[in-house]
DNA sequence: ACCCGCTATAGAAGGTGTCTATATGATTAA
DNA sequence: TTAATCATATAGACACCTTCTATAGCGGGT
């Protein structure tokens, strides 16, 4: 197979109709171009150009070759443009998997900033439980996942993000609990609202109760963190939510935190990617914006 | 612009999913392939492959690049096939201009043989007077011309072909002239049939008469050699034709030659091409089959 | 007839692609 | 766990080949 590099010289020579001009365009000398063309001609056993005193003109065979090489050249030029786009985040896509409520409350602000800076990068966001997110990653459906730690999977690369603290919150209906410090046992006298899906946070809190010989049986199981917040506000019960994600409600005092006499373990956000799998430049740029531990 | 040769390595590596296999396919060593890929990656500032223990897999960016490079590669492969076809005369075309009757009586046999041997070469045959043929040649409409000599044109490359001899022929109606040797003057007593168009042969014969103080005024002017032959056969007059082209008629005695007491100058067939303009391989192969002087 | 611009050629030098040898890492089998 | 195998990465040396400089040759235009 002929040295592809020669086609570049051939193409430019044909376009410019002159070895000298092609040489200038390629930042090489005219004899080099002459030599390159000769190599092509000898390779094919055909003359590609007829030389005149004012440049060169394609022969019939040269025209045939040129028609093909032109296409190839265009594709390769396009390719180089496209790669530059990808590198400069003027294209491509970012596919993120977020477990539970992290998508909305944790990721969204970063996504907004990223999108504002790189509007041409298409963003795909998928929800799922932690194991689902891990599966998506392994199947190549997403570039990175945002889940609660811990995640133990030898195939995964884990970057530790911020610490988050879950807590129980209630609305004004339970205002009398506002100043108090409750025991776990006492808390069970009130209707408890939990996230319905199997999540790390739910495992963690039921585990905590079990450790104290108690059973946490929720009055409501809700499918979204937004609903947990709404139900608590309405006074339907006491919701177990991530403190950072109800910061606004706590500040405006539509919700207040219920203090317990035992500490609720913190958990950590983890950014997971596939080990040994290079990140797209979009993914890697995005991760760089997320404050890690 | 990136060295096109690297794309060849990239493409094969992507296709084969392995640096080692690509190396084998390219008859180079694995480190060379590794190096080439690295150059591409550094050139783009992007990772193109993710390396695993059993080969390499395209990254997202690599896939994008591959989709373009694949097209380009296909075009270049096609180009190389096509050029091989052209070289081996399994394609392309042969465009010939023939003046006057040379097309049919002189060229046809050679064209038949050539076409039999290279059936995939398309043959275009155009008629015209010598100046027309020369024009076609200069305009690039034909690859070569077959005309009567002499042709004097600095831009033309002339190959001298066979000698041909014009003569006067008549049919049985003038049988009494068969054994005789006529003078030019005597010949004018009979109806003369000439080719109508301005041709070398007509100039030559009118010139010969003029040199003897005579004026050759034809009874008929016909547009094709076939008609000249037919008219003579029918007895409508005495036709001035090329002896070699009525060989059959002379042999079967449907025509006979009228001897003159002055020699009619011979003329020569010339194969003309454009100087400084490379021949297509079809044209050059064809010329090689024509017996030259 | 001269000059100018273009291409061809020759020979030299530098660069770069390729090589060998070896390291490193991952998977598989024992 | 260790050994073996197969993949890619790395380093350094060498050779080829691209590119260079210098010059010749050719044709056209002034």
What confidence tens digit (pLDDT) does each residue in A149-182 have? 888 887 888 888 889 999 999 999 999 998 899 9
Residue B88 is encoded by which pair of tokens? 């081996």
Query: For chain A, how are helix, strand and coil distributed in percent, rounded to 5?
Result: 50, 25, 30
Dist. CA A11–CA A66, nearest whole Å: 7
Interface of B with A in 111-130 (CB under 8 A): none
**Yes or no, beta carbons of A69 and B76 under 8 Å apart:** yes
Q: How confident is the model at residue A215 (pLDDT cuts 50, 70, 90)?
A: very high
Residue A58 is encoded by which pair of tokens? 């394609």
pLDDT of residue B24: 94
Instruction: Walk along chain B (293 residues) and give the pLDDT tens digit of each residue.
Output: 999 999 999 999 999 999 999 999 999 999 999 999 999 999 999 999 999 888 999 999 999 999 999 989 998 998 999 999 899 999 889 999 997 677 778 888 899 999 999 999 999 999 888 888 988 888 888 999 999 888 888 788 888 888 999 999 999 999 999 889 999 999 999 999 998 767 788 888 999 999 999 999 999 999 888 899 999 999 999 999 999 999 999 999 999 999 999 999 998 999 999 877 788 889 999 999 898 77
Give the distance, in angstroms, between residue A155 CA and nucleotide C27 C1': 14
Peptide bond into A150 cis (omega under 30): yes
- Scan for tokens 């092509």, then name that residue: A40
Burial class (CB in 10 A: 0-12, 13-18, 19+), B198: exposed
CATH class given for the domain over A4-87? mainly alpha
Distance set, CA A176 to CA A172, A256, A257, B163, B216 (Å) = 8, 11, 12, 126, 136
Separation in Å, CA of A217 to nearest CA in chain B: 46
In chain B, list all ranges with CATH 3.40.190.10: 93-150+276-289, 166-265
Interface of A with B in 141-170 (CB under 8 A): 143
pLDDT of residue B156: 87
| CATH-assigned architecture of domain A93-161+269-289 | 3-Layer(aba) Sandwich (3.40)
Give the distance, in angstroms, between residue A75 CA and nucleotide C24 C1': 37
Nearest Cα neighbor of A155 from A168, A170, A169, A140 is: A140
- Residue B8's contacts (CB-CB under 8 Å, 6 or more residues apart) are A1, A4, B26, B73
- Cα B15 from chain centre: 42
pLDDT of residue B223: 83
In chain B, list all ranges with CATH 1.10.10.10: 4-87
Beta-carbon neighbour count of residue B6 at 10 Å? 20
Dist. CA A134–CA A145, nearest whole Å: 7
Q: How is domain B93-150+276-289 classified at the CATH fold level?
A: D-Maltodextrin-Binding Protein; domain 2 (3.40.190)
**Yes or no, beta carbons of B79 and A87 under 8 Å apart:** no
Phi-psi region of B128 (alpha: psi -120 to 50; beta: other; left: phi over 0): left
Residues of B whose CB is below 8 A from A157: none
Query: For residue A103, is pLDDT > 80?
Result: no
Separation in Å, CA of B183 to nearest CA in chain A: 52
**Yes or no, beta carbons of B72 and A68 under 8 Å apart:** no
Dist. CA A90–CA B25, nearest whole Å: 35
Query: Of B2, B75, B93, which is closest to A80 when you measure between CB atoms?
Result: B2
Q: How is domain A166-265 classified at the CATH fold level?
A: D-Maltodextrin-Binding Protein; domain 2 (3.40.190)
pLDDT of residue B6: 96
pLDDT of residue B285: 92
Q: How confident is the model at residue A277 (pLDDT cuts 50, 70, 90)?
A: confident
Query: Of A44, A82, A276, which is closest to B83 when you measure between CB atoms?
Result: A44
Comparing A225 with A233, which gets the higher pLDDT? Answer: A233
- Is the C-beta atom of A276 closer than 7 angstroms to strand C? yes
**Contact criterion met (CB below 8 Å) for A136 and A108:** no
**Contact criterion met (CB below 8 Å) for B174 and B235:** yes
In chain A, list all ranges with CATH 3.40.190.10: 93-161+269-289, 166-265
- The DSSP letter of residue A174 is G
Count, in order, helices (H) and strands (E) of chain B. 12, 13
Nearest Cα neighbor of B80 from A60, A71, A2, A59 is: A2
Average pLDDT over residues A40-56: 91
Choose from A40, A73, A76 for mutation: most chain B CBs within 10 A: A76
Residue of chain B whose alpha carbon sits nearest to that of A72: B72
pLDDT of residue A224: 84
Choose from B72, B74, B86 for mutation: most chain A CBs within 10 A: B72
Beta-carbon neighbour count of residue B182 at 10 Å? 18
Query: Of A68, A143, A277, which is closest to B79 when you measure between CB atoms?
Result: A68
pLDDT of residue A196: 79
Give the distance, in angstroms, between residue A162 CA and nucleotide D17 C1': 57
Residues of A whose CB is below 8 A from B52: 276
Dist. CA A73–CA A11, nearest whole Å: 8
What confidence tens digit (pLDDT) does each residue in A248-262 have? 999 999 999 999 999
**Yes or no, beta carbons of B280 and A5 under 8 Å apart:** no
Per the structure, the residue whose CA is closest to nucleotide C10 at C1' is A31
Residue A93 is encoded by which pair of tokens? 């896509």
């Amino acid at each position: 197979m002929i040295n592809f590099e020669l086609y570049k010289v051939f193409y430019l020579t044909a376009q410019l109709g002159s070895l000298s001009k092609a040489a200038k365009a390629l930042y090489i000398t005219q004899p080099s171009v002459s030599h390159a063309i000769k190599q092509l001609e000898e390779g094919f056993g055909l003359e590609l150009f007829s030389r005149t005193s004012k440049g060169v003109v394609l022969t019939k065979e040269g025209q045939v070759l040129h028609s093909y090489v032109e296409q190839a050249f265009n594709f390769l030029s396009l390719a180089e443009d496209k790669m530059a786009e990808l590198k400069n985040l003027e294209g491509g896509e970012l596919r993120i998997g977020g477990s539970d409520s992290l998508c909305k409350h944790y990721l969204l602000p970063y996504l907004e900033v990223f999108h504002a800076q790189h509007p041409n990068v298409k963003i795909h966001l998928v929800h799922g439980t932690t194991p689902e997110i891990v599966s998506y990653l392994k199947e190549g459906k997403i570039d990175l996942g945002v889940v609660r730690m811990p995640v133990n999977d030898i195939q995964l690369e884990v970057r530790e993000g911020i610490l988050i603290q879950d807590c129980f919150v209630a609305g004004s209906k339970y205002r009398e609990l506002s100043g108090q410090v409750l025991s776990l046992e006492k808390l069970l006298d009130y209707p408890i609202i939990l996230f319905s899906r199997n999540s790390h946070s739910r495992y963690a809190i039921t585990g905590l109760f079990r450790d104290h010989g108690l059973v946490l049986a929720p009055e409501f199981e809700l499918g979204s963190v937004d609903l947990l917040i709404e139900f608590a506000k309405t006074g339907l019960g006491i919701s177990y939510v991530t403190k950072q994600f109800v910061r606004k409600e706590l500040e405006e005092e539509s919700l207040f935190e219920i203090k317990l006499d035992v500490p609720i373990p913190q958990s950590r956000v983890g950014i997971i990617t596939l080990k040994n799998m290079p990140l797209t430049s979009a993914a890697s740029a995005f991760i760089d914006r997320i404050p890690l531990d």
